[in-house]
Amino acid sequence: MLLALAAWFVFELGGVTQPLFFRSFYSYGAGLLSCLFILRSIGDFKWVGFFKRKKGTVFAKWDSVLYSPLCFLLGSALLIILFWRTE
């Protein structure tokens, strides 16, 4: 549910849909959401992220190959959309 809400926020931020819910806090919400995704990609230094120590599991392999780069890409793209919108 939260991921769908975040996607709707990005649609409104990018101008894909008409602003309905999130108009009042675009800059704060986009900054917070991008920080959450980028911090997820960096990780907790034990189980998830680029700098994790536990590397022998199937999840750790997929986290390194797919999940962490995807979170970093989503966070960076959200920052790009935010700065593109404010110009």
Task: Answer yes or no: is pLDDT of 35 > 70.
Answer: yes
pTM of the model: 0.85
Span 71-84, pLDDT tens digits: 999 999 999 988 88
Residues 29, 76: Cα–Cα separation, whole Å:
14
Measured CA to CA in angstroms, residue 11 lies from 2, 27, 38, 71, 80 at distances of 14, 14, 19, 17, 14
Residues 24, 6: Cα–Cα separation, whole Å:
15
Which residue type, as a one-letter code, is found at position 46? Answer: K
Domain ranges of the chain: 25-86
- In the 8-state DSSP scheme, what is residue 1? -
Quick check: 71 and 52 in contact, CB under 8 A? no
| Residue 18 pLDDT | 87
